[in-house]
Amino acid sequence: MTRVAIYARCSSQMQSEASIEDQLRICRDRVAHEGWTIIDVFSDMAISGASMQRPGIQRLMGEASSGKLDIIIAEALDRLSRDQADVATLFKRLSFHEVKIITLSEGEISELHVGLKGTMNQLFLKDLAAKTHRGLRGRVEAGRSGGGNSYGYDVVRRLGEDGLPITGERTINEVEAALIRRIFTEFSDGQSPKAIAKKLNAEKIPGPRGKAWRDTAIRGHRLRGTGLLNNELYIGKLIWNRLRYIKDPETGRRVSRLNPKDQWITTDVPDLRIVDDALWALVKKRQGEIDATPRVQAMKQTRFWEKRRATHLLTGLLRCGCCGGGFASVGKDYLACSAARKLGTCTQKRSLKRSELEEVVLNLLRQRLMRPEAVATFVAAVGRETNAGRMEANAERARLEAELTQITRRLDGLYEAIADGLRTTGLKAKLEDLEACGVEIEAKLSAPPPSPVRLHPQLSEIYRRKVKELSDTLADPEIRPMALKIIRGLIESVTIHDTDDGVRINLDGVITALIGLAQPDAEAFVGAGSVKVVAGVGFEPTTFRL
């Protein structure tokens, strides 16, 4: 039996869902013609083929790597990806897993297709980008938006004389425009972007896209023209092509680059002016004064933005127990709720020393997260439920195997009858039905049988020893990055609660990772889940809950 997965993709909202259905239909016709068996169908709607960060293609690759597929079929190679490097990587990964790619346009894909077709698709993307860029430039030179909308304006939606929608037109939102003038005035009077953002949040004034105000949304970046204080549209100047965007080959995400100033396209749009020249000049004067301060000049000399920030044990894992937001660095050695410090929208303002907080978390991992009595309860509960479900699966598998044996016996009898010269219409139909039923059962039985849960009896002790060894290596700069990555993988989240009695820390640990670390050679792994531990007053572990 040849196991096949179908993949389809359309790249934009301009293409209807029928495009996906059309691709799937013709692929199904090909599969039926070849007599293959469809295992699953994957698709991505309105997502560019230049990116591999697509849910459908990621799930498809997961199925391929698990050994469940023999062939992936699509309408054309560019449905899988238009990026030349991504196509090559995709082909290499699938070849490693012994999965073929077959498309209706090119047939079975080989190294030759990957090279030639990948190059053609890359040229198509480059040509498409150039045409899109040219069209946007024409729109901007006509005084309309080249994409996106700024705070302070509403999008105008109307039809032209030809009955088609006119895009890129905007009108001033007077309520937001008044707030923009207020922000410009307060900044020119000496207030900082952080103080302005806190005041707006305290007054419960919604920010851009209805979210809380942030100082960065006000301050922005002067050279890049980002942030309210640098948006020249507010003085009636529409500037386009200031930035270009390039895909990072490692992450697949787009990053911005500043274009030379002679490539910028500037168009006067006096009807969109919100701020007068005098107020704009006062803001620019104050920004210049801030840039000239010794502190800012010293920061610029270090070129800190070119240095990659170190990943600490709890980076991205801390949560505020009051507002649910994240924690950020406060100075060099302390952490605090970002919403409380920057936005003024949270009341939990206590800062915690990073080193002390990390030590508490490591102690919780070493001493509390896998206490023997808690592990025993967890293992017993998971073992009972998992094995109960697998007993049902085993019973169903036994039933299918018995049914397949019976079908095989009946087919053998029919084959002998045909060999003896028996020919009837009913016999042929019955033979085809039995063969189809047998193929269906074989497909269900092709998955490996479930295995029982087996966990080491000394799991908690093994885990504790390994975590201690890992935490000890954090002091070694050569081993630290690897140890840090492993320990971070054991933590789902760390929630900080500032109570009247002191600080309480909730640690959610990932059960699957814990068991994998404690016994990497385990025959079976427990399904995803987490346990929680709590450190109470003074960071002393006082209670435990599972």
> Does any domain span residue 216?
yes
Helix (H, G, I), strand (E, B) or coil at 186: helix
Q: What confidence score (pLDDT) does residue 512 get?
A: 47
Q: Cβ(448)–Cβ(524) under 8 Å?
A: no
User: Would 223 be classed as within a structural domain?
Assistant: yes
503 backbone dihedrals φ, ψ, rounded to 5°: -100, 135
Last residue within a domain, chosen from 271, 306, 341? 306
| Residues 109, 174 within the same domain | no
On whether residue 344 sits in a domain, the answer given is no
Q: Does 114 lie in the same domain as 8?
A: yes
The last residue of one of the domains, among 267, 289, 306, is 306
Give Cα 392 to chain centroid, integer Å.
35
Whether residue 123 is found in the same domain as residue 176: no
Residues 179 and 296 in one domain: yes
pLDDT for position 100: 93
- Report the pLDDT value the prediction gives residue 461, as an integer from 0 to 100: 63
Domain with residue 178: its CATH number is 3.90.1750.20
pLDDT value at residue 539: 42
Q: Decide which of 445, 468, 489 is a domain's last residue.
A: 445
Nearest to 312 by CA among 485, 495, 503: 485
pLDDT of residue 388: 62
- Let me know whether 176 and 301 are in one domain: yes
541 occurs within a structural domain: no
Q: Which of 169, 145, 148 is nearest to 157 (CA)?
A: 169
Domain tally, the chain: 3
State whether residue 205 is helix, strand or coil. coil
This prediction has a pTM of 0.53
User: Residues for the chain: how many in total?
Assistant: 546
Would you say residue 178 lies in a domain?
Answer: yes
User: In the prediction, which pLDDT does 182 show?
Assistant: 95
Q: Domain for residue 328, yes or no?
A: no
Q: Are residues 410 and 301 in the same domain?
A: no
Query: Are 174 and 293 within one domain?
Result: yes
Does 323 fall in a domain? Answer: no
Q: In what order do the strands lie in the sheet with 318-320?
A: 318-320, 491-499, 502-510, 530-535, 541-545
Tokens standing for 158?
A: 């109307």
Query: pLDDT digits over 234-270, tens only?
Result: 999 888 888 887 766 655 667 778 888 888 888 888 9
Residues 275 and 219 grouped into a single domain:
yes
Residues 174 and 73 reside in one and the same domain: no
Same domain, 25 and 80: yes
- The H or E element that residue 319 is part of is strand 318-320
Q: Is the dihedral of CA 7, 10, 15, 17 positive or negative?
A: positive
149's tokens: 């909308």
Is 163 within the bounds of a domain? no
Residues of the chain predicted below pLDDT 50:
14, 512, 515-531, 533, 536-546
- What is the span of the domain harbouring residue 302? 170-306
Q: What is the DSSP letter of 82?
A: S
The answer on 299 and 244 residing in a single domain is yes
